[in-house]
Structure 1
Amino acid sequence: MKIKAILLSVSVLLSSCGHPTGVMTPVAVASSTAKTSHVDMLVATTRQPSGSPATLFSGERSPKPFITDISVSIPAKREPGTVQWPKRLPPDPRTDFAVTRVQQVQTIADGRAWFRRHVVAGHALVFVHGFNNTYEDSVFRLAQIVHDSGMRATPVLFTWPSRAQLTAYEYDKESTNYSRTSLEQTLRVLADDKDVREITVLAHSMGTWLAMEALRQMGIRNGHVTSKVKNVILASPDIDIQVFAKQFAEMGKPAPKFTIFVSQDDRALAVSSLITGRVARLGGIDPTSEPYRSRLEEAGITAIDLTKVNTNDRLNHGKFAESPEIVKLIGTRLINGQTLTDNNITLGDGVAAVVGGTVQTVGKVAGGAVAAPLQIAKKTAVTDPEDVKQTLDTDPQANPLGH
């Protein structure tokens, strides 16, 4: 009953985040609209077509995947870390994020031809969104991440069938399971492309479960994950820590380089923990404390603790994308496999990067270690459900587990 009470207390949020829906119809950008940036992406989805050019795809499941070439225009005047949704339709490219091109891709050969035209340093970034996302939510979020991070990589979005409703948590979770083979196939197609030298997987929230399941499935099938998947970045991973341990082990060796973003004040993961029987989530651990720090060292996983990072996200679940410093860290270092242990990192005081066995001060980032998931124990702080309920009752703008 307590779970139902919490979900009912946030039912007002089911109308999304207060922005217009149906923004996928392309708009023209006048040549006089100077300084507008564009992000071109390839979008693979297991969603059912909606039948409307305004939305393209729904939250229902499709028996076959679809691929779409999409371009998003980003206005010059905006705060880094934000998505400027239009206040009315159609979007105005001078002030809003706006879709400027939509083209269905019919064959794998056409997809490879698209990649050849858009290839950046032979590097593909595959982004997997989280729970409570529409198709357009995920498109605009990836465009924001790519633009703000300054990354040198070709963006590929994998969007799975989320109904974008708080009460559809179980449906969304099953949709990730439904989609894992399609994500694995997407990664295989990219790895088989001679124009792709390396792949980074960036997944958020419930999408981290999907990413781990696809990589585990690939590892079981081949004995290990394809060597072109160099880096896996899990942001606010909504995964049972013991299940993550098994997934990591079963994907085989050699494994990609893993980085996880965690935050002990992530209220969305606290709700998830409550829904799943008070099981600790990977994204809520304190990586500088035992048993995590010492027992995780052997796996070589880097954890970056964002607990003290402040953003406008009231539930502290989207810090990886909304903090300008963190999103730049992703774009300029992590997707290129660069070290975090030098003096050029300035994320701010109190941000802990657990990287290698001992805790040390590195620039303004504290360094330490995370690894050996098989030894992850039961210790993690979970926000009290009554505190979560109070937050949701008093803050109608909070969006748990969502964007």
Structure 2
Amino acid sequence: MERPKRLPPDPRTEFAVVEPTIYANDEAFIASVNRELRKIPRGQRDILFFVHGYNNTTSDAVLRLAQFVEDSGFQGVPVLFDWASAANLTRYVYDLNSALIARPRLPEISAIMNRTNAEGYDIFAHSMGAFLTMEAMKDAVQTGRFNSANRLQTIILAAPDIDMDLFRSQLEQIDTKFDRFFVLLSEDDSALNISRRISGGVPRVGASNIDELAALGVIAIDLSKVSNSSSGSHSKFAGSPEVVQLIGKGLNNNSRFDRSQRATRLGEIIGGAPISIAFE
């Protein structure tokens, strides 16, 4: 995405966020979401709840989500959860602390979305945003608020920047039995290799072994052989046309992947893409 080097932006060649609306209260936001949902046929009125990752400005996150929705053909309403990233490669620890500070806010936003007329919700979290999301879901389980409206359909963690041992513990505490819990990984993820060094050599979930992940009960999708990402190895979910279309098809398919049909349906979605999938 070409960003403007000076203002005003040129809409013919550059992307920018213009004329943002600030909602006076929760009710105004809910009414706006419901207006967008009414434009969508029944059976497709879903919310895609996106949590951005490390080293992202607010406008970067907004434009990345807009790009992903456009390219994937997602048919519902996207909602961005924005947290205070420093948007600086050298401030990893700052971002980690900011993610922890934002953790209590996720259940609050979830409660607001439960007041909309959405038929279902899909959670899509990237990088350090996946760490934030898993911690928030764990907290929600402990307070009895996790998926209280029973409308959560899909969880997708893309390149999650999470310690493998911590991830095992999080899954045990969430104890989710979703058939649609996906983890996108890539062993060539350069950002997670740096994160691993910062973390003292502890493996990160998003750059781990596909079979080890699948043994934890999630659907592991290995993107290591995908080499056409325009946004680098850490953001293949948005930079590779094959991966973007894969996720879009999965999100727009509202049917549950029961275990008897999962392999066939996932195979149909992947087609001939150089992508591997493993699950129990």
Q: TM-score range by the shorter chain?
A: 0.7 to 0.9
How many residue pairs are counted as aligned between the two chains?
267
Pairs within 5 Å for 1:270-349: 270-288=193-211, 291-293=212-214, 295-296=215-216, 299=217, 301-313=218-230, 315-334=232-251, 336-338=253-255, 339=257, 341-342=264-265, 344-346=268-270, 348-349=272-273
Q: Deviations over 1:218-269 (max 9, x none)?
A: 1111074332121110000000111111112212445573101000111110
CA deviation string 1:154-192 (max 9, x = no partner) = 010011001111221111001111001111111121123
User: Which residue does 1:180 correspond to in 2?
Assistant: 103
**2:157 corresponds to 1:234:** yes
Does the C-alpha gap of structure 1 residues 94 and 263 become closer, same or farther in structure 2, counting only changes over 3 Å? same
Query: Which residue does 1:117 correspond to in 2?
Result: 35
Where do 5+ consecutive residues of structure 1 fail to align? Answer: 1-82, 355-368, 371-403
State the distance in 1 between where 2:75 and 2:234 align. Answer: 25
Aligned counterparts, 1:184-199, within 5 A: 184-193=107-116, 195-199=117-121
Q: Which has the higher helix share?
A: 2
Displacement after TM superposition at 1:344 (Å): 3.4
Counterpart Cα distance in 1 of 2:35 and 2:145: 33
Task: Give the equivalent residue in structure 2 for 1:209.
Answer: 131
Alignment of 1:355-374 (within 5 A): 369=279
Contact 1:268 1:315 in 2 (8 A): no
For the residues of structure 2 that align with 1:256 and 1:221, how far apart are their CA atoms?
23
Unpaired runs of at least 5, structure 2: 258-262
SS at match of 1:155: strand
Give the TM-score normalised by structure 1. 0.62
Cα–Cα, structure 1 residues 252 and 314, in superposed 2: closer, same or farther, change >3 Å? closer
**Structure 1 residues 285, 159: closer, same or farther in 2, change over 3 A?**
same
Maintained 8 Å contact 1:229/1:256: no
Q: Partner residue of 1:351?
A: 275
After superposition, the CA RMSD in angstroms is: 2.1
Deviations, residues 47-83 of structure 1 (Å, cap 9, x unaligned)? xxxxxxxxxxxxxxxxxxxxxxxxxxxxxxxxxxxx2
* Structure 1: distance between partners of 2:185 and 2:137: 21
Deviation, structure 1 residue 84? 3.0
Q: CA deviation at 1:332?
A: 2.2
1:346–1:330 distance in 2 versus 1, CA, 3 Å: closer
1:321: Cα distance to partner? 0.7
Counterpart among 86, 98, 105 of residue 4 in structure 2: 86
What CA distance in whole angstroms lies between the structure 1 residues aligned with 2:193 and 2:176? 32
Q: Which residue of 1 aligns with 2:93?
A: 170
Is contact 1:224-1:253 (8 Å) kept? no
**Secondary structure at 2:123's aligned position in 1?**
strand
Higher strand share: 1
Identical-pair percentage: 38
Task: Give the distance between the partners of 1:223 and 1:140, measured in 2 at CA.
Answer: 31
Greater radius of gyration (CA): 1
